[in-house]
Amino acid sequence: MKNNRYRKVLLIDDNEIDNFINERMITSSGFSAEVIVKNSADAALDF
C-alpha cells in the first residue's frame, strides 16, 4: 500500500474527462487516499 501524503484532496473542474484523469493520477501516485470531485465552484462551496 502506498503511503499517502494527504488524506483528502478537493478537485474542482467543470470538465468530466479532466476530473476522471486527474482523480486517477492523484490516487495512483499515492498523493492522496481520497479525492472529492466537484463540477463547479458553487458545488464545492456547498460541500
Q: Which residues pair with 18 in a beta bridge?
A: none
**What pLDDT score was predicted for residue 2?**
66
Question: What is the domain partition of the chain in residue ranges?
Answer: 6-46
Pull the grid cell for residue 6.
494527504
Place of cell 456547498: 46
pTM over 0.85: no
Q: Are 13 and 43 in contact (CB under 8 A)?
A: no
pLDDT beyond 90 at 47: yes
- For residue 37, report the phi and psi dihedrals to the nearest 5 degrees: -110, 130
Span 6-35, pLDDT tens digits: 999 999 999 999 999 999 999 999 999 899
